[in-house]
Amino acid sequence: MRSLVIVSMLAFATWTNALNVKEEVSDKEMFLRIIECAQQALVDGLPDFDIPSHDPLKIHNNFSQDVTIGDFTFTFALENMIMQGIPWWNVTQMDDVTEEEGTPVFDYTIYWKLMTFEGNWRVALQDNTANSTLEKIGTFGFELDHLNFSGRFNFSKPGEDKEGGFNELTLHFHTEESEVHIDDLGVLSEIITALGGPALKDVINLDLIADVAGTAIRDKLNRDWIKKPERVQALIDNCKPAASSHTRKFVGPFYKL
């Protein structure tokens, strides 16, 4: 998830030269300050770096899959997808469990009250010999209530003789409730609505992709953010002109550069 990448990225910015904060602040406070800037950036977007507004996030890449069997081609597509709620998280846990100087370690939990994903589905059956097509279109969506991302990150601060970077980033998912709907399928829609929510909740809470997700985000942060501090500077600059309601409390001390 791109929003999660940006959330996790903020720890790196704590120790880049882009900040140059002269006052004494803890690693934890710096991390939390930059998260405030990230929330504003996710609402506004950073067009110069191809980061769109996530309030809501419009997914322009549609998904489509064709399967041809004999003279018939079956097409399944998901289109016009939108995610809502991405920027509106709260950091409910940020515990400093550092044991070695210069290598901060934090246990974290990030909480969303609500996140939704909606779009259109389309199925088509084409008779390739008669050049005729039967098509059906409807809507789909799912909702996650009280969603938590939690885990631990371990970061090496940059120094004169070493590069900084994430050594470890773990990620676990948990949602208290979920709902699923796929409309315009008659009785099948009712069955999916009744059974889909509990099933989706169970799948998410199994944590099946936790190891893969954590490693992928760590590698992306190291590659696309730590080695490109100009992106972090853009994030900070976006905070300067106008503090929104969710950044205002940190702007005063943060900008004593």
Q: In this structure, what DSSP letter does residue 159 have? A: B
Q: What is the pLDDT of residues 176-214, one digit of tens each?
A: 999 999 999 889 999 999 999 999 999 999 988 888 999
| CA-to-CA separations, 245 to 2, 39, 242, 251, in angstroms, rounded | 23, 10, 10, 11
Using CA atoms, how far apart are residues 227 and 219, in angstroms rounded to an integer? 11
Q: What is the pLDDT of residues 85-125, one digit of tens each?
A: 999 999 999 999 998 888 889 999 999 999 999 999 999 99
Asked whether the whole model's pTM tops 0.85, one would answer no
Residue (of 118, 116, 114) closest to 183 by Cα position: 118
Domains of the chain listed by start with CATH number: 2-254 (3.15.10)
Task: Give the pLDDT of residue 160.
Answer: 63
| CA-to-CA separations, 12 to 6, 56, 89, 255, in angstroms, rounded | 10, 26, 19, 18
Q: What residues pair up with 78 in beta bridges, in sequence order?
A: 63, 121
Q: What is the pLDDT of residues 6-55, one digit of tens each?
A: 444 444 444 444 444 545 678 888 778 878 888 888 898 888 888 889 99
